[in-house]
Amino acid sequence: SKIDTSTLFDCMAECRTIKTKAELEVMRYTHWVSSMAHVEVMRSAKVGMMEYQLESLFMHHTYTHGGCRHMSYTCVCACGPNPAVLHYGHAGAPNNRQLVNGDIALLDMGAEYHCYASDITCSFPVNGSFTPNQHMIYEAV
């Protein structure tokens, strides 16, 4: 039997591009919860913690304070050399490195709420201060 791939295309395309006021509110809420969780992770990150602890803090905050039971995708909490690993954080390259002084954390995490996904990436110095070279690169990017 032949599969019909065109009947619903226009309807689905419209649903993806035109949002109701209620949908926009849910999207704003999902992004706000995820933003606040990123701020909490940045405030809590300390040398000696593990990458997976940053991920856990994010997930805990989005669920506890925002009711977001799911993540939009596999969380990436990459520190030190790990941001160079594509899609770091999966089973083959888990978020399992200990944070050391001088590390930059790259976090790519977002919560999902009522099937609306947030996607936020940020970078920050784990010890709270950029070195001059880190600051120059951070500002350039």
Cα–Cα distance, 141 to 138 (Å, whole number): 5
114: confidence class by pLDDT, cuts 50, 70, 90 = very high
In whole numbers, what is the pLDDT of the chain averaged over residues? 94
Residue 141 has what pLDDT? 86
Band of the pLDDT at 4, cuts 50, 70, 90? confident
**What confidence tens digit (pLDDT) does each residue in 50-62 have?**
999 999 999 999 9
On the question of pLDDT at 41 being above 90, the answer is yes
Please give the Cα distance from 39 to 18 (Å, whole number): 30
**pLDDT tens digits along 62-101:** 999 999 999 999 999 999 999 988 888 888 888 999 999 9
Distance between CA atoms of residues 63 and 81, nearest Å: 29
Greater confidence (8 vs 112) lies with 112
How many C-beta atoms surround the C-beta of residue 108 within 10 A?
20
The dihedral region occupied by 48, where left means phi > 0, alpha psi between -120 and 50, and beta the remainder, is left
pLDDT the model gives residue 117: 97
| Predicted pLDDT at 64 | 98
Q: Considering the entire predicted model, what is its pTM?
A: 0.89
> In this model, does residue 1 exceed pLDDT 80?
no
